[in-house]
Chains A and B, each alone.
Chain A
Amino acid sequence: MRAVRRAFIVRAMRTVSDPPASGAQRKTADTVVSGHELVKSYGVGDAIVEALRGVTIDFPRGSFTAIMGPSGSGKSTLMNVLAGLDRPSDGWVEIDGARLDRMSDHELTLLRRRAIGFVFQSYNLLPVLSAEDNIALPVRLAAGRVDRAWMQTLIETVRLGDRVRHVPAELSGGEQQRVAVARALVTHPAVVFADEPTGNLDSASGREVLALLRRAVDEFGQTIVMVTHDAAAAAVADRVLFLADGSIVDCDERPSVGEILDRVKALQR
């Protein structure tokens, strides 16, 4: 275990100091998402801010990765770039073998529809649709047929019972977030990106949502990338990446909450 972790750290460190030549990347067959030398800078001239300083990272299929880091470390930017919501200033992203930088906006949209699921901090359900319809929304947008059995599985998994017919305003925050998770899973996406999914929830609701994400990985083989600054949330993941100043500075496999807290403390110093 330690050896694997070291290897990750070494590679992450190398991306900062000594980026490998482009195209020289080797990656395992079941890598779902990979970022290559991702740079993201905002502003021009003296006012330039580098949110990402060359990040290279792979996400294996069926893995649950948490990205942690202090505010301004670039973790949200990294997620947005990986998910194709934002374009990097340099470098590129591959999802399911497809290069995002070569895609038009329309192709990106279709990719999001097909291959990516999202869970946001503030649930972001459509207020006019019932929980059930919110879950089915991505399928319907693709004018696809809703897989009844899969929908049923998801609805059972989010444990809403009859309340799936209610509109979001009638659901608690935890319930809304579970609906959002089900919606992210409904298209069998290659990867689900979760941005602070427990940020707005009390700890009990948060635990339920995390358990749901964990089940998605364990039972459905779902790949999940989650940005969080909650150590307890990160501890549910298979591995935790630590970001600081736009670079990956560490990578732990299945760390404990305590280990994570230590690491965070170290980064903030």
Chain B
Amino acid sequence: MIQVVLRGMLERRLRSILTAMAIVFGVAMIAGAFITTDAINSAFGKIEQTAYKGVSAAVTTKTAFRSQYTPPKPFGEGLVTRIRGLGGVSAAEGQLEELGQLVVGGKAVNNTFAPTLVISTSGSSRPLFEQVTVDRGRLPTGPGEIALDDHTAAAQGLKLGDAAGVAARLGLQRVRLVGTVRFGGGTSLGGAILILAPLRDVQRWYGMQGQVTSVIVGARSGVSPEALVSQIRPLLPRGLQVRTGQQQASKETSDITSGLNSFLNPMLLSLAGAALLVGAFIIFNTFSITVAQRTHEFALLRALGASRRQLLAVVSSEALLVGSLASVTGLFAGLGFAALLGWLFDAAGFGIPRSGLPLHARTVIVALAAGVLVTLAAALAPALRATRIPPVAALQAASGAHGPTRFARLRAAVALVAGFALIASGLFGVGPAMSRLSTIGAGIVVVFIGMTLSARWFVRPLAALIGLPVARVFHEPGALARENAMRNPVRTANTAAALMVGLGLVVFVSVFAAGLKATVAGSLDRYVKAQYIVTSSQMYPLPAGAGPAIARTAGVAASSPLMMDQIEVNAHSVGATTDMLEGVDAGALLHVYKPDWIHGSSALVAQLGGDRALVERQFVKAHKLRLGQYFTVTTASGGRMRLRAIGEYNDPNLLPGVLVDTATFAAVSTSKDPYAWFVALAPGASRDAVHAALEQAVKPFPPAGVDSLSQYKQLMSDRLNQIVNMLYALLAMCLVIALFGIANALLLSIHERTREFGLLRAVGATRTQVRRIVRYESVITAVIGGVLGIVVGIAFAGLVTIALSDLGLSFSLPVSQLIVFLMLAVIVGVLGAVAPARRSARIDVLQALHQE
């Protein structure tokens, strides 16, 4: 029996390869996702290990919870001196780490997503610890000296002795480059810039004289890190903690990587899942077609005494073989895909440190298992169909098409209803986010299957409709292509399904993103009275020193900073969308912002300060708050305060959570730098003049930039586009796989219709015309997939929008983009037809006509 399988596969080499490609891509994406996250984890591991090389103990501030918004709470340098006095200590260094910006030639070096870190050094020319290796020159010792990581120095063309600037909290600082360093054993820092400066400078630049945020300690020889830690612990005031260097390194690694892995890995894996789903549709379609084509052969085998089980074995072992070979290939292609991903991240400015292409056993097992199982599962239904072929079929004329089975209608309906129900229950239900997300994912898969099952009823009219202009414009080849696309609706539906899935996801992303953009723009239009917004283009905090400079600018009537921190409310875990604390200048707020009051009025703004807070509607809902009620907020740095809700407003996008005066904010949060300023124009002032004056005012404080409201909208939409484009790039994989699916199905159809093509050639169809017939059929099929994908994608986005309507998410159809996607479907159709069209044109007339 296995001989039958092998012979069959060898004979249909091209089809086997194309079928395999569908799986290769999906598996490559799974493997690539794992390899990429492993590479990132390993890179961070290396960086942190190096960062604590030679460090026996580290003193840091305790945090209530992890938050990217909260800088560590500083403490007095006196502790460093006290630690130095301990018996087991060889060296102790207080450190400060801040966000800043490198300025070269008067321009801030913009490294998009990756941060620029300003890290203090001891002021000694030789490092006390082995955190960094000096590449050229020396470490900074005197005021105004800095060292840079060697990548940045080279990229900026900076030589030792060159002048540069550091944009810090208190403004632009003039510095000189005295050395370059390597960090983390030469690992890519993913675009991050490191600025090393003496501690005194960093303290001065950031207004933190006499303060540090961590202490690293070296042990005398013979003193174990553990012994050192227990020596230090009694010295520590409340809110500080001490760990061994090793512990601190792994703690920081896991902090960073678990944050990354919690979104990057699921995202990459769900995209890989989508690719495998597309692959599964193709496998299913291919095996369905070949089983139908081999009816005669299978019936003959049955007539010769093959059992049903043997037939099942023939088809499944073919699937197993294809699946295994494809999975192994896919695993190695995964290495290439991971490299591609890294390149993509870099190109998108989304630099993440990576180290090599590690291939762990887990990657191998999961990728191979997924590939093989998906192939087997997709081939199961066609394999079972093969076993139901009666032996007598060997004696009858081959009949290609199958009528719909009795339960086809019911099955399709059940799948559609169940799929949408699953999605809805995931969207509107309660429970942990992860399980709800997987419910939604399962629902999406079932909806796609339901669409494919039900497609047989609307593919015919759809093909007729789409084919109409094709037939009009391209005459006979067009008309024939249209008829061909209509003749076997089940097959056309299955072929189009792969593209439907890929394009459906693309459309979902696009419609969802359009909604987000519309939402942000809507909130800005409705609630913001300010004419200008000062932000960094990448949503980093801005130097606080810019505030007075903005306020002083002529033509500015009022300005308010926007401080942000994450909070725990009444000791409940942090809800990402609601639990934010925002500090604004209560005196200026009504000049720059128009609250949408649910309870209260603008008179309340003047009462802000002390423990009084305004609360956003979603926050009230989430914490079941009543007006006048007290609630406790805790920041990550340990600040805690009881606040009283005095008014309720609605704006879940710009000002979610709790709104307090800046003074109240400072009492509970360690965040010193605002994320934005809202600036209102004085009546009668010239817009252009004030804009220019503001730009001049914030010049010493890069990365601060001044945007008018409409420019800011554009900025937000550009930022979103960066992410959306990356998703598109990844989803493009699905489209490529769908392309193989179309090619494969067409090749099989052409094989089936060799006689017809022979006849067409005999009655005078040129090779070009034959190629066109195939190409147009491909395009019609692809456009069907495109139309269905667009419908499904819009439906998904609509559901999600309804589910998130509480957050003010609005629905917006990016019509021009949808047209582009439809054109994309046409292109996929044209490309998918290249090989089949060539094959159809090569059909030998004589052989075709005498083929049985």
Cross-chain contact A113 with B763 (CB below 8 angstroms): yes
Q: How far is the CA of A129 from the CA of B479 in the complex (A)?
A: 9
Interface hits, B738-772 → A, CB 8 Å: 755-756, 758-767, 769
Residue B646 is within 8 A (CB to CB) of chain A in the complex: no
Given contacts A85-B846, A141-B476, contact A112 B763 (CB under 8 A): yes
Query: How far is the CB of A227 from the nearest CB of chain B, in Å?
Result: 13
Interface hits, A46-71 → B, CB 8 Å: none
Interface hits, B820-852 → A, CB 8 Å: 845-846, 849
Interface hits, B748-801 → A, CB 8 Å: 755-756, 758-767, 769
Residue A143 is within 8 A (CB to CB) of chain B in the complex: yes
Question: Chain B binding site: helix, strand, loop or mixed by DSSP?
Answer: helix
Q: Which of B483, B755, B769, B846 is within 8 Å of A128, CB to CB? A: B483
Q: How far is the CA of A181 from the CA of B769 in the complex (A)?
A: 23
Query: How far is the CB of A176 from the nearest CB of chain B, in Å?
Result: 13
Residue B108 is within 8 A (CB to CB) of chain A in the complex: no
Query: How far is the CB of A83 from the nearest CB of chain B, in Å?
Result: 8
Residue A97 is within 8 A (CB to CB) of chain B in the complex: no
Cross-chain contact A110 with B766 (CB below 8 angstroms): yes
Q: Which of B759, B766, B846 is within 8 Å of A126, CB to CB? A: B759
Residues on A with C-beta less than 8 A from B480 are 126, 128-129
> Which residue of the partner chain B has the closest CB to A195?
B849
Query: How far is the CB of B778 from the nearest CB of chain A, in Å?
Result: 16
Query: How far is the CB of A121 from the nearest CB of chain B, in Å?
Result: 9
Residue A118 is within 8 A (CB to CB) of chain B in the complex: yes
Cross-chain contact A141 with B845 (CB below 8 angstroms): no
Residue B126 is within 8 A (CB to CB) of chain A in the complex: no
Interface size class, chain B: 20 to 34
Residue A183 is within 8 A (CB to CB) of chain B in the complex: yes
Residue A140 is within 8 A (CB to CB) of chain B in the complex: yes
Residue A254 is within 8 A (CB to CB) of chain B in the complex: no
Q: Which of A112, A127, A187 is within 8 Å of B756, CB to CB? A: A127
Given contacts A80-B846, A137-B476, A143-B475, contact A127 B487 (CB under 8 A): yes
Residue B213 is within 8 A (CB to CB) of chain A in the complex: no
> Which residue of the partner chain B has the closest CB to A125?
B759
Cross-chain contact A126 with B764 (CB below 8 angstroms): no
Residue A109 is within 8 A (CB to CB) of chain B in the complex: yes
Residues on A with C-beta less than 8 A from B760 are 126, 137, 141
Residues on B with C-beta less than 8 A from A86 are 846
Q: How far is the CA of A50 from the CA of B760 in the complex (A)?
A: 29
Interface hits, A150-169 → B, CB 8 Å: none
Residue A174 is within 8 A (CB to CB) of chain B in the complex: no
Cross-chain contact A142 with B764 (CB below 8 angstroms): yes
Residue A203 is within 8 A (CB to CB) of chain B in the complex: no
Cross-chain contact A112 with B764 (CB below 8 angstroms): yes
Residue B285 is within 8 A (CB to CB) of chain A in the complex: no
Residue B484 is within 8 A (CB to CB) of chain A in the complex: yes
Residues 476-513 of B, flagged 1 when their CB comes within 8 A of A and 0 if not, give 10011001101100000000000000000000000000
Query: How far is the CB of B247 from the nearest CB of chain A, in Å?
Result: 73
Cross-chain contact B763 with A137 (CB below 8 angstroms): yes
Residues on B with C-beta less than 8 A from A124 are 755-756, 758-759, 762, 849
Q: How far is the CA of A142 from the CA of B766 in the complex (A)?
A: 9
Residue A2 is within 8 A (CB to CB) of chain B in the complex: no
Cross-chain contact A140 with B846 (CB below 8 angstroms): no
Query: How far is the CB of A46 from the nearest CB of chain B, in Å?
Result: 24
Query: How far is the CB of A28 from the nearest CB of chain B, in Å?
Result: 27
Cross-chain contact B756 with A118 (CB below 8 angstroms): no
Interface hits, A85-142 → B, CB 8 Å: 85-86, 105-106, 109-110, 112-114, 116-118, 120, 124-129, 137-138, 140-142
Residues 405-429 of B, flagged 1 when their CB comes within 8 A of A and 0 if not, give 0000000000000000000000000
Residues on A with C-beta less than 8 A from B759 are 120, 124-126
Given contacts A120-B849, A128-B483, contact A85 B767 (CB under 8 A): no
Q: How far is the CA of A120 from the CA of B850 in the complex (A)?
A: 10
Query: How far is the CB of B844 from the nearest CB of chain A, in Å?
Result: 9
Residues on A with C-beta less than 8 A from B483 are 126, 128-129
Query: How far is the CB of B484 from the nearest CB of chain A, in Å?
Result: 6
Cross-chain contact A112 with B762 (CB below 8 angstroms): yes
Cross-chain contact A109 with B767 (CB below 8 angstroms): yes
Q: Which of A85, A127, A138 is within 8 Å of B845, CB to CB? A: A85
Cross-chain contact B764 with A110 (CB below 8 angstroms): yes
Q: How far is the CA of A129 from the CA of B486 in the complex (A)?
A: 11
Query: How far is the CB of B758 from the nearest CB of chain A, in Å?
Result: 8
Cross-chain contact A106 with B763 (CB below 8 angstroms): no
Q: How far is the CA of A110 from the CA of B479 in the complex (A)?
A: 20
Given contacts A128-B483, A128-B487, contact A143 B476 (CB under 8 A): yes
Cross-chain contact B767 with A138 (CB below 8 angstroms): no
Query: How far is the CB of A200 from the nearest CB of chain B, in Å?
Result: 12
Cross-chain contact A141 with B767 (CB below 8 angstroms): no
Residues on A with C-beta less than 8 A from B763 are 112-113, 117-118, 137-138, 141, 183
Q: Which of B756, B764, B849 is within 8 Å of A113, CB to CB? A: B764
Q: Which of A117, A124, A142 has the most CB of B within 10 A?
A: A124
Query: How far is the CB of A93 from the nearest CB of chain B, in Å?
Result: 15
Cross-chain contact A109 with B765 (CB below 8 angstroms): yes
Cross-chain contact B761 with A128 (CB below 8 angstroms): no
Query: How far is the CB of A194 from the nearest CB of chain B, in Å?
Result: 13
Cross-chain contact B846 with A141 (CB below 8 angstroms): no
Q: How far is the CA of A114 from the CA of B86 in the complex (A)?
A: 105
Residues on B with C-beta less than 8 A from A143 are 475-476
Query: How far is the CB of B189 from the nearest CB of chain A, in Å?
Result: 61
Cross-chain contact A140 with B476 (CB below 8 angstroms): yes
> Which residue of the partner chain B has the closest CB to A105?
B767
Given contacts A85-B845, A128-B483, A128-B484, contact A109 B764 (CB under 8 A): yes
Residues on A with C-beta less than 8 A from B756 are 124, 126-127
Residues on B with C-beta less than 8 A from A110 are 764, 766
Residues on A with C-beta less than 8 A from B767 are 105-106, 109
Query: How far is the CB of A13 from the nearest CB of chain B, in Å?
Result: 29
Q: How far is the CA of A110 from the CA of B767 in the complex (A)?
A: 10
Residues on B with C-beta less than 8 A from A129 are 480, 483
Q: How far is the CA of A140 from the CA of B759 in the complex (A)?
A: 15
Q: How far is the CA of A129 from the CA of B765 in the complex (A)?
A: 15
Residues on B with C-beta less than 8 A from A128 are 480, 483-484, 486-487
Q: Which of B475, B487, B760, B762 has the most CB of A within 10 A?
A: B762
Query: How far is the CB of A193 from the nearest CB of chain B, in Å?
Result: 9
Query: How far is the CB of A210 from the nearest CB of chain B, in Å?
Result: 21
Query: How far is the CB of A129 from the nearest CB of chain B, in Å?
Result: 6
Residues on B with C-beta less than 8 A from A140 are 475-476, 479
Query: How far is the CB of A131 from the nearest CB of chain B, in Å?
Result: 14
Cross-chain contact A138 with B766 (CB below 8 angstroms): no
Residues on A with C-beta less than 8 A from B486 are 128
> Which residue of the partner chain A has the closest CB to B485?
A128
> Which residue of the partner chain B has the closest CB to A118?
B762
Query: How far is the CB of B852 from the nearest CB of chain A, in Å?
Result: 9
> Which residue of the partner chain A has the closest CB to B845?
A85
Residues on A with C-beta less than 8 A from B764 are 109-110, 112-114, 116, 138, 141-142, 187
Q: How far is the CA of A112 from the CA of B845 in the complex (A)?
A: 12
Query: How far is the CB of B124 from the nearest CB of chain A, in Å?
Result: 84
Q: How far is the CA of A80 from the CA of B849 in the complex (A)?
A: 11
Given contacts A85-B846, A126-B480, contact A141 B762 (CB under 8 A): no
Residues on B with C-beta less than 8 A from A187 are 764
Q: How far is the CA of A213 from the CA of B716 in the complex (A)?
A: 77
Q: How far is the CA of A90 from the CA of B759 in the complex (A)?
A: 26
20 contacts between A and B (CB under 8 A): A86-B846, A106-B767, A110-B764, A110-B766, A112-B762, A112-B764, A113-B763, A113-B765, A117-B763, A120-B849, A126-B483, A126-B760, A128-B487, A129-B483, A137-B476, A137-B763, A141-B760, A141-B764, A141-B765, A143-B475
- Taking A127-B756, A137-B763, A140-B475 as known contacts, 10 extra A-B pairs with beta carbons closer than 8 A to each other, sorted by chain A number, are A106-B767, A110-B766, A113-B763, A114-B764, A128-B483, A141-B765, A141-B769, A142-B764, A143-B476, A187-B764
Closest 7 CB pairs of A and B: A113-B764, A128-B483, A140-B476, A124-B759, A138-B763, A112-B764, A109-B766
